[in-house]
Amino acid sequence: MNLIFRCSTNKLLILLSNQRSLALLKQKQRSQELTGEEEEQLKKLNAQLEVASGGIAAFLDRAEREFATPDDKDRIGEVVGVQELQKILIQLDRETGQKTAAVYTLVGETSFDALIISADALVSVSSPPRNRRKQ
């Protein structure tokens, strides 16, 4: 995939670098007749555009297929730290007779997220932040 990505990136760079020349030639073509050299350059740029566009489209199609179904190596398994924390919470529940939980929070610009870990559950919640102070 890396080689294909580099190849598609190169095609994209060619496409972007030639886009301005292509736009200028087309603009000139609308207002006046192009010289023979400019006509050839326009044909060459259009051909490069087709090749680059096809390569990028093929790359994106392949990437979409590859990322559509994640491999087992892409899946996140049980986190050892969470399992250990849950064991400790179970022990605390037994010893104290009270339910105990650990809450991890993250406050971002657009959301408030919390991960709640108890002896018997793992819950993730998210909501927009309220009463944000303007600075």
- What would the pLDDT profile of 23-69 be if each residue is shown by its tens digit? 777 777 777 887 888 888 878 877 877 776 776 677 777 777 877 77
Residue 12 has pLDDT above 70, yes or no: no
Hey, what are 70's tokens?
A: 């994640």
Rounded Cα distance, 42 and 21, in Å: 8
Residue 73 has pLDDT above 60, yes or no: yes
Residue 5 has pLDDT above 80, yes or no: no
More confident residue, 113 or 65: 113
- Could you read off the pLDDT of 88-109 as tens digits, one per residue? 889 888 888 888 888 888 888 8
Rounded Cα distance, 61 and 12, in Å: 15
Give 105: exposed, middle or buried? Use CB within 10 Å, 0-12, 13-18, 19+.
Answer: exposed
Rounded Cα distance, 125 and 73, in Å: 26
Residue 74 has pLDDT above 70, yes or no: no
Cα four-point dihedral sign 31, 37, 40, 41: negative
The predicted pLDDT at position 133 comes to 54
Cα 135 to the center of its chain, rounded Å:
30
Give 11: exposed, middle or buried? Use CB within 10 Å, 0-12, 13-18, 19+.
Answer: buried
Q: Average pLDDT for residues 63-78, to the nearest whole number?
A: 71
Reported confidence tier of residue 79, pLDDT bands at 50, 70, 90: low
Rounded Cα distance, 101 and 115, in Å: 10
- Three-class SS state of 133: coil
Q: Average pLDDT for residues 106-134, to the nearest whole number?
A: 82
